[in-house]
Amino acid sequence: MTNKTPTSFQRRWIGRLVSVAAGLLVSASAWAAAGGDVEAAGTDLGDRASLQRGAQLYMNYCSACHSLQYLRYSRIAEDLGLTEDEVMDNLNFTGGKFGEQVQVSMTTEQGNAWFGKMPPDLSLISRVRGPDWVYTYLKSFYLDEDQPLGWNNKLFPNVSMPNPLWELQGLQHAVYGELDEATGERPVVGLEVKSAGQLDAAGFDQAARDITAFLEYAGEPAALKRQGMGVWVILFLVVFTFFAWLLKTEYWRDVK
């Protein structure tokens, strides 16, 4: 009779697997609590035009407050098919050098005075929150007179920043549901554009998608090259499998 009792090594690995599974469940619950009701971004990192538009929109509307300290201007040029002059003339508004990271001109003192704290770096926001969250967040700002800056966000309530894209999107107002007796507040159940912006709804969706795609790229620039290498890796595995099959056939030819 064999001994079915797990060894100490097996017990350690079982414990680790249980811990990982529990961590994934907790992370999923925390994500849902932080705003799991999101729209699909539909980003495509293979769409270079979208990435270029996203870079332009980000630099024009977001880079004044939010840095990308893990991304260099030279890397943007290389990956997005832009020249040094195009990047320095159209995407660099801080006077940084071509080989430097994307920083902001705002000082820490200014950030603390205007927003209560320095706006965060967004290099890894898409990896932390996910592209769908970023896309929905950009579309969820609405006017709120009760907030210090006059803005709120349906996905991220009480966010301490204004809507940087209001000129493109227009001015959104909240649609409130029935009064919640437990909290004494009326939940936001929808958003309506009351004053049109420079873009229509479809145009703004595309602008938000382009910015999201650029931030997704910024979180892992190597993803563009990795996807291109993936085809060659698969082809190598197919060829290797074929030769391995031939080798196996040769080894087993005389085995009866």
Domains along the chain?
Answer: 37-244 (1.10.760.10)
On the 0-12 / 13-18 / 19+ scale of CB atoms within 10 A, 153 is: buried
Q: Find all residues with CB under 8 Å of 150, minimum gap 6, and list them.
A: 143, 144, 162
For residue 79, count other CB atoms closer than 10 A to its CB.
Answer: 20
Digitized pLDDT (tens) for each residue of the chain, 256 residues in all: 444 555 655 555 555 554 445 444 434 434 444 445 899 999 999 899 999 999 999 999 999 999 999 999 999 999 999 999 999 999 999 889 999 999 998 889 998 988 888 999 999 999 999 999 999 999 999 999 989 899 999 999 999 899 999 999 999 999 988 887 777 788 888 999 989 999 999 999 999 999 999 999 999 998 877 766 777 788 888 888 988 988 888 888 877 5
Sign of CA dihedral 161, 217, 214, 235: negative
Residue 231 parent element (H or E): helix 222-251
pTM for the full predicted model: 0.75
Cβ-contact 65, 111 below 8 angstroms: yes
Any idea which residue has 């940084």 for tokens? Answer: 96
- In sequence order, the 6+-apart residues with CB closer than 8 A to the CB of 196 are 170
